[in-house]
Structure formats: C-alpha cells, structure tokens
Structure 1
Amino acid sequence: MSELKEFLLPDIGADAADVTEILVSVGDVIVEDQDVISIEGDKASMDVPSSVAGIVKEIKMNVGDSVSEGQVVLLIEVAGSAPAPVAEDNVAPVAEATPAASTQLKDVCVPDIGGDEVEVTEVLVSVGDAIVADQDILSVEGDKASMDVPAPFAGIVKEIKITAGDKVSEGTLILVVEVQVEAQASAQVAPAKAVETPAPVKTAPVVAKPAEPVTTGPIKASPSVRRLAREFDLDLSRLPATGRKGRTTKEDVQTFIKAQLAIAKSGGGGGLQVLPYADIDYSKFGEIEIKPLSRIQKISGPVLHRNWVTIPHVTQFDEADITDLEAFRKQQNAIAAKQDLGLKISPLVFMMKAVAKALKEFPNFNAALSNDGESVILKKYINIGIAVDTPNGLVVPVVKDVINKGIYDISRELGEISQKARKGKLTAKDMQGGSMSISSLGGIGGTQFTPIVNAPEVAILGVSKSVMKPVWNGTEFKPRLMVPLALSYDHRVIDGADGARFITAINNYLSDLRTLIL
C-alpha cells in the first residue's frame, strides 16, 4: 500500500555544506517542494526543498553535519499501490472528482495595516498547510509596531508570494489558497479532501510541543537570521524566540540589538556594567510552573527597558479635587441611560480632555526628541494614547483629535478601541500617532505609581484610585473626592518648572469643569 523512498540532497552548488537546521520531525506530513533542511556553505545559505511528498519516517542527518550532493536526507513513506488504482481506475471520473470541481484558488492580500509600507519579518505558514480563518499567516514590522496578519478565510496554502525581508503594503499579494466551494454535490469529495493531508498537516502544531524548550535544545532560525546574528557576534541561545514553533526571527535579533544599544547609551559608552543574573534551578525549592511570555510582553518588555534606562525620568505628583466632576458625570450617565444612548461616561474621558487642553497650552509636552538629540519635533495634532490591560499584556491604542471631540464621542470611541484591544484586534494604525499617553489604575487601586514615558512621546500621566479626604477650604474641613496624579516626563525636553505648570493645569481643569470649555 505504501513504500519508503529516499530523499537525496540535490545539487547545492558546492562540494559540501553544513546543516544549520532541520525543519521537519519524524511523523510530519510533508508536501513536494516543502523546505526540510537549512544548509550553509562558504558563500551562501539556503533551504533545501523535498522532491518527495509523504510522511517522514527517518531523518538521516543532524545539525552540524557536513553534507554533499547525493547524500540521504530523509526516508519518506509515500503512497504506493493505494493511490495508483484511484488514478488508473478513474481516468474519466478524475475530472468529476478533481479538486477543480469542488475547490477554487483565492488570493490573500495584505489588509489595511495602518502604514504605507512594512517589512515581512516571518512567514508563518508553508505550502501545503491547512489554515483556518483568523490564523496568523505573516508577521510584519513597521516603524513603531509589529503585528501578525491573520488569514481572512480557511483553506490549503498552494503558493506563497512573499518572503521574509520583503517590503509590503495594503493590497500586496501574500498567498494563493485553495478553498472549498459551497456549491458541490459530490459525496466523494469529502474523502478525497481528507486524504489530501489537511488533517495530518493539522497535527503539525504537535511538533511545537517538543520544540518549545528551545533554551537548551537546538536553535531554530533561518539562514538569513543566523547570518545577521553572526554579523553582530550574537549568541542566538541568549535571545527570546518569538517565532512560529519556537523559531528565532529577524525581529528577535533586532529587538535584542536595540536593547543592548540602549543599555550602552545609558551607561556613558561603557554600558551599565551589571552582573548577569544567577542561573537558578527553582524546582529544587518546590513545585514550579514555566509559563512563556506572550508575544506582546516579548515585544514591549525590551521597549519599556529601553525607555527606562535611556530617558532621564522626572515624576511629579499632585491630587485633583474631582467632587464636582464626579457629580456631573453621574448626572450625565443617568440622562444617557434614560435616552438609551448605549454609552457610559468614565472619569478617564474627562482626564483625556484635560490632558488635551494642557497639551494645547504647553506645546513642548506635545513633542518628540529627534533621534540625533539635536532638535525637538513639535506636533500640531493632539491624540491621546490610553494604556489598556489585556489578557496578553499591555497595549496603548490612540484616540485621535481629542481636542475637537465631545465627551459622548470620546466615550464611544474609547469603548470601541478598548474592546478591540482586549480581543487582540488592534492594528499598527490603531497604536500610532500619539501625543501623550494616560495610564489609569483607578479602577484597580493603589495610591501612586511612577509611569514610564512611552517614547517617542515625552510625557505620560498616571492616574490612581480616587478617595474621599477631608480638605481645608479656609474655614473648615470638607469631604472631597481626590484623585492622585503622577506626571512622568523626559527631562531632556521638559524642565521641572514646566512639569509643575502642566500638572497644575490638569488639576485646575479637573477641579473646575468650566475651565475645560474656555
């Protein structure tokens, strides 16, 4: 019914090359032209595709082996007599049962990703893979954000039109996918589809299980990534691997390099010169669980570290009296409920309006420091970033043109963008163009905290939980609802006097809502 076939190394244009990575495992279902190993010679690196389709039964080489043309790479179990009768018995019926009668090819293009052009950092699928709707198929990176592009529909990948390193924009063709056509009556199509490997291919994620503990096993990276790492003399085992099936991507290398450069800059050219953490076996003290960081945490962690060590932070604290604001907010929510407007105004909306008005009054806060540190870029727009807590980590979507929007409009937009963030549906466009960010922990608790500036912005406002306090009004103590504020800013751009003026202005706007409309 089946037979074992040897896949031999084809002509690689050199006498010998070293195996840098094995891209399949025993038991994998592979298709013709699927890459199975990566090799590297004196002058070039390349991925070697299989000329045979079937199930991998044995791998005849290891990472580090020197190989040459004609050497056995894999033993593959291929269909023998079983498929033959189907082709021979049904020469005429083949036209009826052929996939063309039940399937069609559809193009997958880059959706709106919020930018003119981005770079492909990783292709997350291979030819022959069965994909489902909303499955990530591509990783891209723009100037300010990285994101995964999901598939718009399910099917089988027939052709990949781009490679890592390509520049793409909205409308660029990514994949050609074979999809099922709704209108078909042949009952024989279902078994034929099952044999075509989507079900076995779907077991591919199982391979990711043994591949996850990459820290002690072989490093999984493409030849181009390995070449980039060698150029910077990097040990890939030190880098977090965020790619599919534990692969180290170009983005991982770039993020690591940027973090190291930031550390070096902050230490006056000599780096921070800190000792590395001790390598501790925590399991000897008791039971432990190892939980991998989410993709958002892996991306944001180095960025936050860079911002903390390279920006000279100053944080100023204040308390704003929001007693009247809170009474007005509750009154407006009651009106909105009676009119069935379908929205709820939160205190954060008034914070956004106050910050927007303060940015207009103090334009040096609505700025960015140029990369060379020689000039300040003043922004004429006023967009407010809002830190949103999601199951996968912290993200900062941006609400545009806050200065010209009313409380109801901001409330609706804030609700929509927060929902989008928690569902993981934010695009790079949703997180670009901020003037200043607000991080509000008021709904959780705490009396104060020191927020980290969200570069390239130069300031951020932290809001903690409001509390009733006795406040002296000149003649007596009165109970007033006070909200703690913490303003962090980049001292290279903003001095202490302006910082005090800015937070005082926000305090005044929140304490007396009438000043917000002046």
Structure 2
Amino acid sequence: MKIFKLPDLGEGLPDAVVREWHVQEGDHIAAHDNLVTVETAKALVDVPAPWGGTVEKLFAAADETVNVGEPLVGFKEAGAAAPPEPRGETDERQRTDTGTVVGKIEQSGAVLGAEVAPSTTPRRLATPAVRALARRLGVDLADLRPQGERFSAAEIRAAAQRAPTAAAAAKAPPKPAATGTAMSPARRAMALAMSRARDQVAPMTLCDQVDISAWWGKESATLRLIRALQQACAAEPHLNALYQDEQLSPATTVNVGLAVDSPRGLYVPVLKDVAARSDEEILQQIEDYKDQAREQGIAQRDLQGGTILLSNFGGMAGRYATPVVLPPTVAIVGAGRTFQGVVAVDDRPAVRPLLPLSISADHRAVTGGELARFLKAMIQALS
C-alpha cells in the first residue's frame, strides 16, 4: 500500500481537521483530483491526490483531527495483490511509506540472511535496587560515574543531597491532567496571530466619535463604515499598506479584512477591491461570510490579501477599544456601539446618535499625523 500523509499546508499549525471526503475506498482517481477538504488555521483547504490510482484505505473520518505527517490515504500498489495480514502485526509495520506531496523514500526488499548478535553486551552500572533508589530520589545515573564497578546506595543518596531541587521535584506529586477543551483550528490560529502581533507591532490607538444623525436608521452602518474607510485610505494611503522586511508598501486597491465572530472562533475574510464593487455585492458577500463562518468555515483564498482591517464590535457591546493590528497590515478600524449623546448644535445642546471610532496603527510604519488625518477623513465621510 502506498501511503499519502497529510502534508504541511503552510498555515503554521501541526494538524488539520477533516471536514469532507471527496473519495471513497475503492474509487479510482487521477493525479491532482481532490481527495479531501480539511480545516486548518481557520481556512478550508482542498488537498489533491499526489498520484493516480485506487483508494484502498481512508485513515481518518469526518471531523477527526490528523497531524501533519500522519497517514491520510492509502493507495493500492499497481499490479500487486494485497498480501495476507500476518497475525499480531500492526498496520504500521505493513505500510510502505512513500512520503507526502514531494518525493518518496526508496526501500530495499533485501533481508538479512541471519540474525546478527550485538558484538558487546552493555554493562549494568547499578543493581535493580540501586536504580530504583535513583529514580525515587530523582538522580540521573547517566550524569554520574561510579566510584567502583557499580553504583552504591550511599553514592545515590549523596548525589541526591547535592541536587535537592531535583530530588524534591521527583518527590512532588504529579500535576493534575488538563481538563480544558481542546482549541479549534480557528482559535489556535487566532492565538498564533495575536502572539505575532504582540512581538512585531508597535501599536498606537486614536479614538473619537462622530454624529451620524444624517443617515442613522436609514442605511447599513457596516456599509457606511466600509465606504468611509475606503475614502480615508484615498486620503492617507500609508494606512492601506503592508509593512514587511522594514519596507512599507501602499496597496493599489482597498481590500478590507472584516472581523467575523462565530462559535468556531474569529475569522477575518477579505472584501477584495471594495471601490470596484457595488453596495449590493458587498452586503451579499458579508452575509455569505457570516453563514460560512457559522456553518463550515471559510475558504483559504477568502482569508488572504487583506490590506486594512475593520472590526464592527459595537454590534454586540462596547464603545471604545484598542484593536490589535495584524502584521503585515498596519491599521485596523474599530467601530463601537452607537449611543445617544449630547452635542452642541448651533450653540445649543442636542441629543444625537454618536458612533465611537477606535483606530490602531503600527507606529513603525505610520506616523501619528497620518493616523489623525485618516481618522478625520473617516469622520467627515460618516457625518
């Protein structure tokens, strides 16, 4: 049996969750046909067959987690009958490992004519009782040399006194096993992204609020935010950019990464080139992303290419925040919960709907003045 293992899909995670098989055992497929859809790092990825042939075995069921490098699909060897399974042998000893996507391991069919005995027998440096005493006191015999031919109990006790910390650790009761629920791929990917942001970004955040009484209740707040962000990017293009290898590269299109909350975790699908799309297309794409996040996950291609981020957290709660910039992007806009506030209108107090804005930027790539002018442009577009 030729074994195809789960390859590294380039998402930074050591495993993937099988979501849908596209083949069954016994199917004959061609090279590059889709085998399975897996979820890793928040994305749904189609895994193609590395070669053609007959599928003999699927090593994982739907919703099962498979580690990178573990068997995924077994193919029948061309022109060879399946050998009988010897008793007591495990599947692992019967498999011929042919690698993952790239390359294969050549194996020889030759066998040894006779069993070769070891040339020397390793000498025991301690009796079973002394070895048990060493384990109990936390003494590693590999780090010591006996005074005579073998270790004595007195030598073990003396070594334990010289390393009280190790001995105490050996006597300490074992830590209780973790009882938490394993994190989903989306949550683990979020954790990796946040760690990267913590280590790489020099964040700064600027906040303000805008009177939206001219359109509040008549238009989609999310759409107005996206269009205002689009106009602000035209005014200050350095915030619609990528910062990599100490180089700031302003983008030619505005690709908005939209934070979408779901029970599976946080997704950031991308609305590509919003300036070239109609309002109806953008609103429909947002609804599609929300449905995908809730039901099956979002395709990998839809999670890539963002140039600036938007988080409309105010739909749930909160006025102001310190949104986290995800490198290599340099800015994220956060919209808080709209509230009724008192403002001055013609020198008189008036109650108006106010939209709080919180914008974070990477101070390595963006100046405070650029951030302030960007926020001003958004306020003008939303007024």
Q: TM-score range by the shorter chain?
A: 0.5 to 0.7
Deviations 1:183-205 (A, max 9, x none): xxxxxxxxxxxxxx99x997997
| Unpaired runs of at least 5, structure 2 | 33-44, 71-99, 101-171
Q: Is 1:362–2:362 an aligned residue pair?
A: no
Identity across the alignment (%): 23
From 288, 292, 300, the counterpart of 1:416: 288
Q: Is 1:296–2:186 an aligned residue pair?
A: yes
Q: Distance in 1 between matches of 2:49 and 2:334?
A: 40
Q: Is the 8 A contact 2:209 2:356 kept in 1?
A: yes
Q: Is 1:348–2:217 an aligned residue pair?
A: no
- Residues 314, 177 of structure 1: CA spacing in aligned structure 2 closer, same or farther, 3 A cutoff? farther
Counterpart code for 2:24: G
Indicate the residue corresponding to 1:441 in structure 2. 313
Counterpart code for 2:317: G
From 473, 480, 483, the counterpart of 2:352: 480
Q: Is the 8 A contact 2:331 2:359 kept in 1?
A: yes
From 324, 333, 350, the counterpart of 1:461: 333
From 492, 503, 509, the counterpart of 2:375: 503
Q: Is the 8 A contact 2:224 2:382 kept in 1?
A: yes
- Residues 458, 449 of structure 1: CA spacing in aligned structure 2 closer, same or farther, 3 A cutoff? same
Q: Distance in 2 between matches of 1:315 and 1:305?
A: 19
The offset of 1:152, in angstroms, is 5.0
The offset of 1:357, in angstroms, is 1.2
Indicate the residue corresponding to 1:240 in structure 2. none
From 308, 312, 320, the counterpart of 2:202: 312
Q: Is the 8 A contact 2:241 2:248 kept in 1?
A: yes
Q: Distance in 1 between matches of 2:279 and 2:306?
A: 19
Q: Is the 8 A contact 2:20 2:62 kept in 1?
A: no
Indicate the residue corresponding to 1:432 in structure 2. 304
Q: Distance in 1 between matches of 2:371 and 2:63?
A: 55
Task: Map 1:28-43 onto structure 2 (within 5 A).
Answer: 33=1
RMSD: 4.1
Following TM superposition, the consecutive aligned residue runs of length 4 or more in structure 1 with deviations greater than 4 angstroms are: 146-152, 157-162, 168-179, 200-205, 220-223, 279-284
| Unpaired runs of at least 5, structure 1 | 1-32, 36-119, 124-137, 163-167, 180-196, 213-219, 224-249, 251-278, 330-345, 512-518
Q: Which has the higher contact order (CA 8 A, sep 6+)?
A: 2
Q: Is the 8 A contact 2:206 2:371 kept in 1?
A: yes
- Residues 439, 282 of structure 1: CA spacing in aligned structure 2 closer, same or farther, 3 A cutoff? farther
Q: Is the 8 A contact 2:21 2:62 kept in 1?
A: no
Q: Is the 8 A contact 1:157 1:175 kept in 2?
A: no
TM-score, structure 2 length as denominator? Answer: 0.60
- Residues 490, 201 of structure 1: CA spacing in aligned structure 2 closer, same or farther, 3 A cutoff? closer
- SS where residue 323 of structure 1 aligns? coil
Counterpart code for 1:323: S
- Residues 281, 400 of structure 1: CA spacing in aligned structure 2 closer, same or farther, 3 A cutoff? farther
Deviations 1:67-92 (A, max 9, x none): xxxxxxxxxxxxxxxxxxxxxxxxxx
Q: Is the 8 A contact 2:320 2:358 kept in 1?
A: yes
- Residues 201, 299 of structure 1: CA spacing in aligned structure 2 closer, same or farther, 3 A cutoff? closer
Q: Distance in 2 between matches of 1:177 and 1:439?
A: 47
TM-score, structure 1 length as denominator? Answer: 0.45
Q: Is the 8 A contact 1:317 1:485 kept in 2?
A: yes
- Residues 281, 157 of structure 1: CA spacing in aligned structure 2 closer, same or farther, 3 A cutoff? farther
- Residues 483, 363 of structure 1: CA spacing in aligned structure 2 closer, same or farther, 3 A cutoff? same
The offset of 1:405, in angstroms, is 2.4
Who wins on radius of gyration, i.e. which is larger?
A: 2
Equivalenced residues, count: 269
Q: Is the 8 A contact 1:139 1:149 kept in 2?
A: no
